[in-house]
Amino acid sequence: MFEAEAFLPHETLAAALIPYAAEGNDGSHDLAHILRVFRNAMRIHAGEGGDGRVLAASVILHDCVSVEKNSPLRAQASALAAEKASAILAKLGWGNGDIEAAAHAITAHSFSAAVAPQTLEAKILQDADRLDAIGMVGVARCFYIGGRLGSGLYDPFDPAAENRSLDDKRYAIDHFQTKLFKLADGFQTETGRRLAAARDKSLRDFLSAFMDEI
């Protein structure tokens, strides 16, 4: 119950869902990530409103299917997670409306899926998940995933990609330009945008310091 208690005020729901929450051994999409996203979501929820129960379930199950970043199925990962989450929530006796709301939020949270969030809960989950991709945690996750996929840190002869094409599959630092710096402009809620601005600055400050050192 200790793990579930970290998900207050939805600890009872968390206790039922945590066993399904994280699949595989990806340390960037593990239970620690889910807890960070949950805390982000609850912070945004406090300012924006929405259905807390649907939001909590969506957060806990948003990565219940694991697909590697370099898999051809990556763009389908959130839809697969939504399908699995729907079955889990149905077994818990949830009604169709709430299941559909949670499934939509899960489907729409993914950058790769490119599905526009239509509900407040979906907007909050997307913002909460993307907050974990920027700032200092985002830096750590970027390099963790780069190492997991066998990428180099940077191109030693052209680290800023001034005379080459960006390639974040070869060089982890390129991911800042190809994705991470684009995230802050796409936040859906006012609270999320405010939180994202501070983390985006941290991200850019890190890259500047990194480039100075190399």
CATH number for the domain spanning 182: value is 1.10.3210.50
Residue 123 forms part of a structural domain: no
pLDDT tens track for 39-66 = 999 999 999 999 999 999 999 999 988 7
Q: What are phi and psi of 68, to 5 degrees?
A: -60, 150
Chunk the chain into consecutive blocks of 10 residues (it has 214) and report each block's average pLDDT, rounded to whole numbers: 84 95 80 96 97 97 81 76 96 97 95 88 97 96 93 97 96 96 96 97 97 97
**What's the Rg (C-alpha) of the chain?**
17
Number of domains in the chain: 2
pLDDT tens track for 143-160 = 999 999 999 999 999 999
Q: Do 22 and 99 share a domain, yes or no? A: yes
Q: Decide if 171 contacts 152 (C-beta within 8 A).
A: yes
Residue 28 forms part of a structural domain: yes
For residue 76, the cross-strand partners are none
Q: Residue 98: what pLDDT?
A: 97
Q: Which residue has the tokens 């340390």?
A: 27
- Provide the 8-state DSSP code for 25: S
Q: Do 20 and 75 share a domain, yes or no? A: yes
Q: Do 70 and 156 share a domain, yes or no? A: no
Compute the distance between CA of residue 209 and CA of residue 45 in angstroms, rounded to an integer. 34
Compute the distance between CA of residue 153 and CA of residue 79 in angstroms, rounded to an integer. 31
- Provide the 8-state DSSP code for 134: S
